[in-house]
């Protein structure tokens, strides 16, 4: 189902009450968009639509951003630090430098977590793409 039509239906229910919902049900999906101006005069001039959009933003978008940030932080903290990585995976290969634990490649790229200037760095194998460790 089209998200725009869901938004219009919810707006009809909030702004027009029972009669707005009846109008929404009686008109076909195609004619609904054509008759939206007849449905409610000044729909975009009314502040209730802006409040509705603000509530949708706060209920849908903000929690998704917060959850993705929390997941990203957990993922970053789950990577071993460089000293933990060398102790765990490079015990028998001391002096050879860091290499990938999966493919053995010594080509490792150094990426900033949020950008090039970020102090939090992630080290990724250039050959197989494995996320190896963090600083």
- pLDDT tens for 60-117 read 888 888 888 888 889 889 899 988 988 888 765 656 678 888 888 888 998 888 888 8
Owner of token pair 């494995």: 130
**HSE of 12, CA atoms in CB hemisphere, 13 A:** 23
| Burial classification of residue 133, based on how many CB atoms lie within 10 Å of its CB (0-12 exposed, 13-18 middle, 19 or more buried) | buried
Edge-to-edge strand order for the sheet containing 121-125? 108-112, 121-125, 131-134
CA distances from 126 to 48, 97, 109, 115, 120 (A): 52, 15, 6, 18, 19
Q: Residues for the chain: how many in total?
A: 135
CA distances from 70 to 5, 61, 79, 115, 134 (A): 32, 14, 15, 18, 17
**With pLDDT > 70 as the criterion, what percentage of the chain qualifies?**
60
Owner of token pair 């603000």: 54
Q: Where are the domains of the chain?
A: 3-75, 80-134
- Look at residue 126 in the predicted model and tell me its pLDDT: 92
User: Has this prediction a pTM greater than 0.85?
Assistant: no
């Amino acid at each position: 189902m089209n998200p725009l039509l869901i938004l219009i239906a919810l707006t009809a229910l909030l702004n027009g009450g029972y009669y707005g919902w009846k109008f929404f049900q009686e008109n076909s999906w195609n004619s609904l968009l054509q008759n939206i101006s007849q449905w409610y005069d000044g729909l975009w001039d009314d502040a209730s639509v802006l409040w509705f959009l603000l509530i949708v933003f706060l209920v849908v978008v903000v929690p998704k951003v917060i959850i993705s940030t929390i997941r990203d932080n957990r993922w970053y903290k789950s990577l071993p630090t460089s000293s933990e990585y060398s102790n765990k995976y490079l015990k028998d290969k001391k002096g050879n430098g860091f290499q990938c634990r999966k493919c053995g490649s010594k080509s490792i790229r150094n990426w900033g977590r949020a950008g090039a200037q970020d102090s939090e760095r992630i080290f990724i194998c250039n050959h197989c793409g494995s996320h190896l460790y963090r600083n």
